[in-house]
Amino acid sequence: MNIQTTTNDSQSTMRLSGRFDFNSHKVFRETYQQLLDAKAELIALEMSQVDYLDSSALGMLLQFKEKADMQSTRITLQNCSQLAKDVLAIANFDKLFEIS
């Protein structure tokens, strides 16, 4: 998976593309950690280019959320593909994340 980051003021966007699975663990964690260290207030995950999402990706989202919650950073999941929406819906992650 590739991640491109853009930051405007205190809002950051992580543009994810490719397969979001266990192999993305390192790059995903390092990227969000940098943004959290830079005290981003809102981090938007741009999901339109994600063509696969598995349960380990959901696990990574939970870890991300735990870290973000500790410093009150908001997370949104934007432009989810139908597949991503389905996976998130089965796990009922809409109860934890803002998803659009």
Partner 1 sequence: MRILAVDDTRANLVLLQAMLKRSGHEVVTAENGEDALEVFSEQQPDLVLMDVMMPGMDGFETAQKLQDMSAPRWVPIIFISAAATEEYYIKGHQSGGADYLFKPINQVILNTKIESIKRIVDMQNTLHSQNTALQEYVEKDEAERRISRHIMEHMAESKGLEDPLISSMITPAEQFSGDVLCAARSPSNRLYLLLGDAVGHGLAAAINTLPISGTFYSMVYKGFELKTIAKELNRRIKEAMPTGCFVACGIVMIDPGESYAEVWNAGLPTFYCVDSHGHVSDTFESTQLPLGVLTADQYEVTSEIIPYRPGHQIVLFSDGLIEAESGDGDFFGIERLLGCLHNPENRLDDIRCALQDFLGDQHPHDDVTLALVDMPAQDVSGFDIFNDQQQTEILTSVPPADSVDWRVSFHLGVSEVKALDLTPMILGALGQFKGLEKHNQKLFLIMAELLNNALDHGLLKLDSSLKSGPDAFEKYLAERQQRLEELGSGCIDITASKLRLHDESFLRITIEDTGNGFNYEHFNQPLPSEQPVMHGRGIKLVKQLCRVVVYEDRGNKVTVDYDLGTPDRFS
The residue (of 8 and 92) whose beta carbon lies closer to partner 1 is 92
59-98: which residues touch partner 1 (CB under 8 A)? 59-60, 62-63, 66, 89-93, 95-96
Q: Which of 58, 74, 79, 85 binds partner 1 (CB under 8 A)?
A: 58
The residue (of 11 and 21) whose beta carbon lies closer to partner 1 is 21
Is residue 5 a contact point for partner 1 (CB under 8 A)? Answer: no
The tokens for 80 are 């989810």
Is residue 42 a contact point for partner 1 (CB under 8 A)? Answer: no
| Count of residues in contact with partner 1, rule CB under 8 A | 17
The CA distance from 54 to 88, in Å, is 10
